[in-house]
Structure formats: C-alpha cells, structure tokens
Amino acid sequence: MCGIAGYSSGTHTSPGIEGLASAKDILAHRGPDDSGIYEDPVHGIGFVHVRLSILDLSPLGHQPMLSDDGRVALAFNGEIYNFRALRAELEAAGHVFRGHSDTEVLLHLYLAWRERGGDLAETLRRLNGIFAFALWDAEHSTLLLARDALGVKPLYYCADAGRFAFASEIKALRPLIGALGSLDAAALHRYLSFLWCPGKGTPAGNVKKLGPGEWLWVRNGAIEERVVWYRLPAFRHAQSAMDESAAVSGTLQHLRVAVHRQLVADVPVGAFLSGGLDSSSVVAFARERNPDIRCFTIESAGGAEAGASDDLPYARRVAEHLGVPLEVVRVDAARMAEDLAGMVAQLDEPLADPATLNVLYISRLARECGMKVLLSGAGGDDLFTGYRRHRAMVEEHYWDWLPRPVRQGLAGLAGTLDQRWAWGRRLRKAFDGAELEGVRGW
C-alpha cells in the first residue's frame, strides 16, 4: 500500500511545497519506506508519493517517477502483476529501463501509447493488477488520473473552478484545498441505507470518488473528460452449457493462476487465514509456490461475540492440514474500544463493519514479523454467494406468503436462539427482517 496526492492549480494559487509536504505527512502511514515530492510551478502541478516498497527496493523505484526527459511524472499506488510480460514487449520495441519496478513499466507503457496513439482504454485493460495513479504530461499540459477496473485502490478528488486536487485519502486533500465542504446529505443517506456509499459521493460535498474503471483528463485545474474504460460483463440468468465438473475445474484453474501471480514481490508474502473457504483456498494455492508461507489470524479473548463464529479453531485446523506456520494475535473488547476512534479516522468514510479492527491487528502483527504483503480471501463470499443473507433470499419464498404477525413471531423466536450454535446464527439471519413488506432489507 502506497499513497499519492497532488494538485493542478489552474487559475488558483497553488498550495505549494508546504501544502504538498503536509499531505505527504498525512499519508506517511501508507508508505513508511520512502517518500517524494514533485512540483512544476510553471504549470501549477504538484505530486506527492509515499512508498511501501514491494518491487525494486532500490532508489530506482523512487516516486514520483520521471521520464528520461523529465517531461512526464508519475505517482502510482498499486501493483501490476503482469509487469514483466509488458516490460519484455516494451524492451522489444526499443524502450530502455533503468530499474525493475512495475511503476517504470507503467510509465513506459504510457510513453508508448502517446507515441503510437490508439485506444488508451485498451492500454489500461492490459494491466492485470490493482492501481490508482496520476500522470502529468508537460508536453501536452494534461493530467491523467486512473483507477483499476474493480476499484480496489482508492482515489478521491476535489474539482472547483480552476482548481483540482486528488489523494488516496480524503484527509490528505485538506492541505491542498483548505477546509472540506459541507456534508453531502444524499451520500450520508446512502451510508445509512446500504452501510456504504455507492457512486462517487463522500461525506464531504466537494469531495468525490473516482469510480472503478474510470479515468479523468484534467487541464489547468479543470476536468476536461471523464471516461469509463472498464465495465463488468453483463450477468444474464440463462441456462449454462457448462456442467458442474467444468465449472469447478475452471474455477480452480483461474484461482490458482491469480494467487500465483500475486506472489510476485521482492519481499516476503504472507496470508490472512480465518479457516473459511476463501482464505483457506488462497493459502492452499500459495503454498504450491511457497510451502512455508506464514499465515496470520486473530483470537478474541473470551470467545467470539454473539452472532459471530470464532475463526481460530478453523484457522488452526487448516494450518495444520496444510503444514504452514500460523501466527495469532490476541485482542479483547477493551483494546478494540480503545482503538475504535483511530480506526474511524483512518478509514475516512463510514464503514459498518468492526472487522476492520481485526485486519488492523493482524497487519500490525505481520509487520512485526517482517511481512509487508498479505494475501486475502476478501471478496470470495460476494462472488460465490457465501453470506447467510444470500441463502435467506433464495429460501424466502417459503415464508414470505405468511401473514405479517406470523413472520414477526418467527423473527422474534429466531432471535432467542443461542448464537453460539451455528444453526442459531443462521436461523436468526434468515428471519432477520422477515416481517418487512415488499423488498426485504437484506
């Protein structure tokens, strides 16, 4: 995880080195290994980068990174997993590299696109990875910002008349734009409705999110063009010609390739391990390349909260089965309460999930053990309908025809079940909101 920030001042007075330095300090926790500032006062452009060194640990990976002629500057947060294949193509076309980072590959990929023209969207779609970057091209007086296809890496921006600023975190925008704007009531309503905010809104009315698979062209502090360069394929409910065996083998193949690809790093790579299907699968495939991959999990003092399962027994069983080392961090309710305010400040946007604290504790333990990168199974439940609410939606037709008082009684009865019992948790989740009319509140 790195951090980027910057501005295009246009007709406004630029925040200067002082503003950039303050933004860099705010983002310092994202990149403890190196940092840099780039400023072009003539064009009203400034970049900040804080670095967590994963690929090319030498000074040749320093950012913001400049082209050989100094006319193009790049600040990049993320990782491009197929950078070696792209580099080989660029070298065959005559490009000469100084270091061995994926950042330099991205810089040369842009230069190659600028030289030959063509479809920038197709160029970005060739990047297999997660990223958010800002690229200043002095020759064309344009600033390009882009975010990866699924929006894994964050990028916020503020665009007023003649002033533009961007950053990996909302708080890092403040030294570049001054005070944040008034609250965005519509965005807050979405947070309360969905427990997150889809779309470009944030709590601050003058701060927006660059969407997944989007880019911006900025000139003289103003947005010239906003483009969606990637859209998820449309999912249609249709009978598939693929049988179960082919679906399983295809999933295994693609997951194995994805995990192996993400092991590319110049530092040790570990993994989160909860003992669930997603993290266990990731560790199983990672072990094929690194038999001694270090895994990390959490233990809650006094056991898991009501309505939640205790991961530790499952994580230990998986670690023993796969023969991988497992490190455990132990936390209690008092410690979590003490760290909650800091977690809220770090997240920037509201997030209705205390699991972020677990991630924080595990990451701290991993860092103490010398690990900078951890593989995660996050997203597996979303892709493969692994949440109990997904099953509840499928089964809901068995009881949604009942009179509302009966459904209210079912919900109340399920709520009295012992939450330490797996079926108790499942039934409570299934009937949570059963009394609602129309579209359920899952």
- Among 8-22, 122-136, 265-279, 383-397, name the one with the lowest average pLDDT: 383-397
Among 119-128, 173-182, 265-274, which stretch is predicted with the lowest mean pLDDT?
Answer: 173-182
Check whether 437 has a pLDDT greater than 80: no
**Three-state DSSP class for residue 391:** helix
Residues constituting the chain: 442
Q: For position 65, what pLDDT does the model report?
A: 97
Residue 438 has pLDDT above 60, yes or no: no
CA 317, 320, 321, 327 torsion: positive or negative? positive
Is pLDDT at 160 greater than 90 in this prediction? no
Which stretches of 211-305 are DSSP H helices?
244-261, 277-289
pLDDT(346) > 80: yes
Q: Does domain 248-383 have CATH number 3.40.50.620?
A: yes
Global pTM reads 0.88
Q: Domain boundaries in the chain?
A: 3-228, 248-383, 388-431
Average pLDDT on 124-147 reads 96
**Tens digits of residue pLDDT in 380-403:** 887 887 776 677 777 777 777 788
d(CA 106, CA 127): 9
pLDDT tens-digit profile of 45-102? 999 999 999 999 999 999 999 999 999 999 999 999 999 999 999 999 999 999 999 9
What's the confidence (pLDDT) of residue 442?
39
| Nearest to 421, CA basis, from 310, 317, 312 | 310
Residue 11 phi/psi, 5° resolution?
A: -85, -5
Query: Percentage of the chain surpassing pLDDT 70?
Result: 93
Cα–Cα distance list, 55 to 12, 41, 113 (Å) = 37, 31, 23
What's the CATH code, domain 3-228? 3.60.20.10
Output the average pLDDT for the chain.
Answer: 89
* Percent of residues, the chain, with pLDDT higher than 90: 64
Cα separation, 422 vs 442, in Å, equals 19
Residue 408 or 272, more confident: 272
Assess whether the region 3-228 and the region 248-383 belong to the same CATH fold.
Answer: no
